[in-house]
Structure formats: structure tokens, C-alpha cells
Amino acid sequence: MSIAQNAKIRQVSEKTIVVGVDIGSETHHTRAFDWRGIELSKVFSFSSDAEGYESFDAWLVKLKSAYGKSAVIVGAEPTGHYWFTFGEHLKAQKVKLVFVNPMHVKRTKELDDNRAGKSDLKDPKTIAQLVREGRFLEPYIPEDIYAELRVMNDARIRITDEMTAIENRVKRWFAIYFPEHKKAFGSWDCESSLIVLKTASLPKDVVALGADGINALWREKKLRAVGKKRANILYDTAKSSVGVTTGENAARCEMSMLLEDYESKRSQFGRVLETLETLCIQVPGAKKMLAMKGIGLLTVSTFFAEVGDLSRFRSPKQIQKLAGYAIAENSSGKHRGKTGISKRGRKRLRWALFQAVMSLIRHQAGFAQLHKYYTARPDNPLKSKQSKVALACKLIRVFWAIVKKDADFNSNKMMCDIVRNLPSAA
């Protein structure tokens, strides 16, 4: 048993009530136990509103008085967004909330009746049992600027997914009605392409408009990058198009709606980026992180949105674990399996760091040199992806030093701090 788990078990004393809660969309179900696992009350259900939370508070007060308890720990599964308001209420009441792993609940619930079934009566008891054994995690709820960053970063990811979905539908439309469109434009969403699509989306419409009409549309919008030559290419491809010609009116309507959706999402994405930039520069160390060549706004905003306040960590290794970059070993007896990263953590943080490393390898001499060393060293050379994971962990330590020491990034100092047989140190 780990030191951390021992510390968690000590939080449950003779004066503690352990409450297991099965979180629902509208109604929550709870059961209460003492530190030895003796049940103190029947199942108590309450609604997810102010009246329900007040009844839950009254129920706790009654139990504490009846059994002479002075502390409460509430355990729950992190069920999407349904726990947010309940968690906020517990925080206001200064009641400790912890989370148990849903997989642990699933595997433990068979101990009592040898059945894997799920019920409002069974799950709260299993959750409370895991909390008593110290098998829980304490959730981090960001506050102030970090809460703002997390909300806006979530919005950015959602809007990006929606834009990708719209783009895929647009590409499907082109494949059906105008497959040759890509011959005239490098990208369908460039300004010159959008101007034409709003007026003449189908090949038949482009032919009717003519090369001169297409060029006139661009001149009216004062576009300088396209002209008569591009208009002729579009006109010629439209004349020989093999696109479907049935359902033309519906096809025009569909493209019009897709363009409206895409431009709306693109406008929202711009507003989100502006907000993220305004928020990011308020975080200590963010400006110096953004000053690193190869590090952009999305990397820094995602890092702080997922990690939050760095003061809550004792070392960068904890952030490495949070990102799922902790080393996991697969060994038994004399068998030594392959090691790899745990992937247990925040996947957005892990993805953002990995993408940042690929940019740094292209733009930062120090990271490029380290990548070359890791993959070409004579002893224990790493594969390209393994090297990038190692550099992602290095980037965490670089960010840690920038924020904690309020220092500017120095590639030469980073290389000097690494005592290895690097080419420059030979």
C-alpha cells in the first residue's frame, strides 16, 4: 500500500461519516457508513436543486447528531457534468468531496452479492467502501483565471469539432455535385472560393455566370490574389463536371446552410481565441512561455486550462503523471515486459504537449538536438515517438522552471543542464 493511500485512509477516523452518492441527472441517491463500514442510515434520495441540497444538509446534520460524528467525506463517481452543482454546494458547506474510479466501482460491486448488476441501492455502498479504503482522488476545481481558461478552452475544442463536422459535410457535397471544384482552388474555404459558392455553387451556375461574371465578383470584393486566369480554370472545370444534376434546388439550399454554419463557427472561433489570449497573458509565466519559438497560444492556454495553478504541485513529475506520461511497467517474476506511458490522465494536456514538441523540434535548435541525440545514441536509442514523449516531459520541466523561477527560456542553459555525451559537448 502506498504512502499516499495510507494518508487517505487516515482521513477517515472514528468521527467521520463516509457518504457514497450515486449521481443522477435529476436525483441523487446516498448511503452513509461509519469508519468500520457499519451503515448509519437507509438510502436517502434528494433532487438536484436548492430544495434537494437543503434536505441533504439536514440529513447530514441529523446523522452527525445521532451518532456523535464531527466530519463528513462524500464520495461519488465523476459522471459528466451532473456533479458540478452538487460539488459547488458541498464546497460552500465545507464538506469534502472525493471521486472514485468508475472502473473500480464496476469491479468491486460484486463482492457483496456476486452480481454485477447496477442499482441505486448498490452503487452508493460500493462507492463508500472504496472511500473508506482510501481508493479515491480529490478533484481539482479550478478557480479565478484558471476556471475561465478551462471553460474557454473547452469551448474552443467544441467549436473546432463542429467546424470539422461542417467541413466534412461540405467535402461530401463537393464529391457529389462538383468534384472538380478543388482543381480551381487550393482550399474550398478561401475567400475567393466562398464568394463564388454564395452566388454560384453548382457547376451549372458557374457556367451560367461565365468567367467574366466570376472575375467581376472578385473585383467587386477587391480581391487581388485571383483574376481572369483563375476564373477561366473554374469555368472550364464546371463545363466538364461529372457532378450529379438531380435535386439542384435542394443542393443549392444545402450548400447555403453549410456556408452559414461554417462562417458562424469561424466567427465564434475568432472570439474564443481573442478571449483566450486576453486570459492567458494574465497567468504568471504565460508571456515568457509564449515567447519561446515554436510555442503558441493554444499550447499555453491548454496547458493552464488542464493543469490549473502550478502552486498546487510539489514537482513537475506530478504534472507528468497528470498528463498520463508516467512510466508504466509490465513485469512479473523473471519476465520483464515493455515499458510505456500510463495514458492515465488528461488526454488534452498529453496531446497538446506532444504537438508542441513536434513544433519545437522544427523551430528550436536545443529540442532538435536532443531529439537527434535520443534517436541516434549508441546505447539504448529511442524510437522517434519515444523521443518525443521524453521531450514532452522535458517541456513540462521547462514550463515549471519558467513559472516557478520567473525565468526566460534559454536553450543554451537547457543544454548545459543536461550532462550527456551530446555532440556539442564532445
What are the pLDDT digits (tens) for 90-118? Answer: 999 999 999 998 888 888 877 766 666 66
Q: Amino acid letter at 374?
A: Y
Q: pLDDT tier at 404 (50, 70, 90 boundaries)?
A: very high
- Own/partner pairs, 312-316, CB within 8 angstroms, 24+ separation: 312/140, 315/400, 316/396, 316/397, 316/399, 316/400
Q: Identify the architecture of domain 3-132 in CATH.
A: 2-Layer Sandwich (3.30)
pLDDT category of residue 76 using cuts at 50, 70 and 90:
very high
Q: What are the start-end ranges of the H helices in 178-246?
A: 191-199, 203-220, 228-239
Question: Average pLDDT, whole number, for the chain?
Answer: 91
**Torsions phi, psi for 20 (to 5 deg):** -100, 130
The percent of residues in the chain predicted with pLDDT above 70, rounded, is: 92
Do the domains 147-277 and 3-132 match in fold?
no
Instruction: State the Cα–Cα distance between residues 65 and 80, nearest whole angstrom.
Output: 33
Q: Residue 238 above 80 pLDDT?
A: yes
For residue 333, pLDDT beyond 60: no
What is the per-residue pLDDT across 304-332, written as a single tens digit (0 to 9) for each?
Answer: 999 999 999 999 999 999 999 987 766 55
The answer to whether residue 140 scores a pLDDT higher than 60 is: yes
* pLDDT of the residue at 166: 97
Residue 426 pLDDT? 37
Q: What is the pLDDT of residues 340-375, one digit of tens each?
A: 788 888 999 999 999 999 999 999 999 999 999 999
**Given pLDDT bands bounded at 50, 70 and 90, which one contains residue 71?**
very high
| Cell 509565466, located at residue | 285
The reported pLDDT for the residue numbered 146 is 96
Write down the pLDDT at residue 371.
Answer: 94
User: pLDDT digit string (tens) for 13-25?
Assistant: 999 999 999 999 9
The model's pTM: 0.85
CATH 1.10.287.130 assigned to domain 147-277? The reply is no
Phi, psi (degrees; rounded to nearest 5) at 46: -150, 155
Per-residue confidence (pLDDT) for residue 423, from 0 to 100: 53
Domain ranges of the chain: 3-132, 147-277, 286-425
Write the pLDDT tens digit of every residue in 187-201: 999 999 999 999 999
**Residue 47, pLDDT above cutoff 90:** yes
Four-residue CA torsion sign, 45, 51, 56, 61: negative
Report which of residues 337 and 306 the model is more confident about.
Answer: 306
State the pLDDT at residue 379: 87
Rounded mean pLDDT of 227-241? 94
Confidence at residue 425, expressed as pLDDT on a 0 to 100 scale: 40
The Cβ-side half-sphere exposure at 406, using a 13 Å CA radius, reads 2
Whether the CA torsion 128, 133, 135, 137 is positive or negative: it is positive
Q: At which residue does the C-alpha cell 472560393 appear?
A: 193
Q: Are 202 and 262 in contact (CB under 8 A)?
A: no
| Angle between helix 248-280 and helix 297-307 axes, rounded to 10 deg | 70
Q: Is the pLDDT of residue 31 over 80?
A: yes
With cell 519515444, the residue in question is 386
User: For 396-425, what is the mean pLDDT?
Assistant: 79
Given a cut of 90, whether residue 419 has pLDDT beyond it is: no
**pLDDT computed for residue 297 by the predictor:** 96
CB 25 within 8 A of CB 80: no
